[in-house]
Structure 1
Amino acid sequence: MARRLRSVDLDFVPVAPLRLVFAAEVSAPPEAVYRALAEDVEGWPSWFTAVTAARPTAAGAGREVRLKGGTMFQETVLAKEPGERYAYRVDETNAPALQALLEEWRLSPAATGTGTRVQWTFAADGPAPFRFTLRLGRAGLARAFRDAVRNLDERLAVTSG
């Protein structure tokens, strides 16, 4: 059964009790990556394999996301800055122990001069055992992020080519 989480805003990202930050570079420009993140919500399952379904809600001000294993999120979009940042807060979920969650995707030009540096911050709160378990799962989240960004880069190369 879904339950309501604590409402947090963008200022939660730097102070969250648990912050997991992952970064990778892709060859696509920031604007294309941003479009895939923020404007093609339904396309997420094609590149982020943990996502089984995603759809915008509230005329794009929210999202509904389902993950493998049955986890569900009802989200509110907090930042839509084309080519730079996309962030959303989870308002309701069936994930146990989670008390607050905000995810932020930051985009910047890659150090190589072409492409995009993609940074994903997973800012969460929950009881100490929950935070400990998520820290233990960091490697799995890192792998999921790397795979997702690689898949997204391949998808964008096909759609732009």
Structure 2
Amino acid sequence: MVRRLRPVGLDFTEDAPIRLVFTARTAAAPEAVYRALAEDVEGWPRWFGAVTLARPTHGGAGREVRLVGGTRFQETVMAADPEQRYAYRVDETNLPGVRALLEEWRLSPAAPGSGTLVRWTFAADGPALFRFALAGARPGMGLSFRSAVRALDARLSQQRPAGQ
């Protein structure tokens, strides 16, 4: 059953009842990581193991995403700041219990010429049972995120010209 979620703004990453924040580092530069996140949406399944389908909608202003296990999302892109941030709000999903959901990817140079620090914030709201389940899922979500960033970094390293 597809359900409509409560629309939230970017400030939800700071004041959501549930905030899961994960970080990882890549050797790739922020501009390459940003391109993979925001411009090559259809490429997500090649590096994020939980994603089976991702495609832009509404001329790039939205996304459709499907996960392993059948969870589906219709999203609105909330921020697309080149080399810095990519954020999207879930508008519709078949995931039970969730009332609001926003994800933000923040990118910052790790050090001059030494890659990117990637921070993923998963901000959500739902009833007590959903909050409890999400807290229990935290270790698995962190592992999934770190694995995805490693896979993305490997993918991007294959695309970099030699010597960069």
TM range (shorter): over 0.9
**CA offset digits 1:11-62 (Å, max 9, x no partner):** 1110000000000100000000000000000000000000000000000000
Give the distance between the partners of 1:136 and 1:49, measured in 2 at CA.
Answer: 20
Partner-residue secondary structure (3-state), 1:97: coil
Q: Give the structure 2 partner of residue 101 of structure 1.
A: 101
Corresponding position of 2:73? 73
Structure 1 length-normalised TM: 0.98
The alignment partner of 1:13 has SS state of helix
Q: Note the aligned Cα RMSD (angstroms).
A: 0.9
Give the Cα–Cα distance (whole angstroms) in 2 for the partners of residues 112 and 139 of structure 1: 31
The one-letter code sitting in structure 2 at the alignment partner of 1:20 is: L
Q: How many residues align?
A: 161
- Residue 150 (str. 1) matches residue 150 (str. 2): yes
Q: Which whole-Å CA distance do the structure 2 matches of 1:53 and 1:12 have between them?
A: 26
Q: What is the TM-score with the length of structure 2 in the denominator?
A: 0.96
Alignment gaps of 5+ in structure 1: none
The percentage of aligned residue pairs carrying the same residue is 69
Mind listing any 5+ residue stretches in structure 2 that lack a counterpart?
A: none
Whether 1:22 and 2:22 are equivalent positions in the alignment is yes
Compute the displacement of 1:112 (Å). 7.1
> Where does structure 1 differ by over 2 angstroms across 4 or more consecutive aligned residues?
none
- What is the identity, as a one-letter code, of the residue corresponding to 2:88? Y
